[in-house]
Amino acid sequence: MSSSDELAAVLRVWRERLTPQMAGLPANTARRTKGLRREELAVLASVSADYIVRLEQGRSSAPSVQVCVALAQALQLSDTEQEHLFRLAGHAAGCRRISRLVPSSIRRLVERTGERPVAVFDAMWNLLLWNPMWAALTGDPSSLRAADRNLLWLHFTGASDCHMYGPDSAEALDASLVGDLRRSAGRYPDDPELKQLVARLNEASVQFRELWSRHQIDEHGPTIKRIVHSEVGTLDLDCDILTTQRHDLRIMMYTAEPGSESDSKLALLGTIGIQKVSADFA
């Protein structure tokens, strides 16, 4: 059996074992379809129903990394099943390529930290997973092309809905982001997506190109960030970053000092921002 045929078969199995109730969808007693319908899976994974049909018929055998992440989350795959999906799609991570697998334990962590903006990135700062508060604070990533859901791309091209500054200056934040990406480029020299990102950024941003040419290594770690939001104004937030060892993921969380003005603004954003994101999604 070819990889495309095996991918088609296993996607059908995974879809049919997941009930609407398990996926958080309204139950419908008048169903003849076993498990989720293709249209329902398409909505959950933010892809077209026609694309799901082509995948399950073996006519589209190479879903992107971002699509694989979305399918894994929608189908509630285990860590082992995620690895199998990525392998069949041609994205198996070796020691010199970046892993894009998000373990189920990390997905649960993101789901259960609803009051704070939390997101998960890979080693080149591709955004893999986020909660509604993250979307309310930074803008809804689902509205972006998959290739543009990258922290450095959004930062250096000005494509983000909010503006971030470091504790000392914007230049210090810029340098830490580029230095961190340079470090990942050394760790994963064979990763084609990282090479493509660097090429795109070199073409799109003079500031990135100048910083990249310095060949400086840095780490984009915990700091205080000043975020200018279009609706609630300026927030000074603690930005904490945790790194997982096995898959080299970065878990970023924003918090505010209790009782501060930024804390009140973050709470307000948790009300109006999430409602807005939900309305846009509907």
Q: Does domain 3-88 have CATH number 1.10.260.40?
A: yes
pLDDT at 263: 95
Tens of pLDDT, residues 10-35: 999 999 998 888 888 876 656 677 78
pLDDT at 279: 40
Q: How far is Cα 227 from Cα 236, in angstroms, rounded to an integer?
A: 6
pLDDT at 168: 61
pLDDT at 28: 65
Q: Residue ranges per domain, the chain?
A: 3-88, 104-281
Q: How far is Cα 45 from Cα 8, in angstroms, rounded to an integer?
A: 16
Q: How far is Cα 257 from Cα 266, in angstroms, rounded to an integer?
A: 10
**Third-level CATH fold of 104-281:** Beta-Lactamase (3.30.450)
Enumerate residue ranges in the chain where pLDDT < 70. Answer: 1-2, 27-31, 61, 92-96, 160-169, 273-282
DSSP per residue, 195-220: HHHHHHHHHH-HHHHHHHTTT-----
Check: CB of residue 69 under 8 Å from CB of residue 83.
no
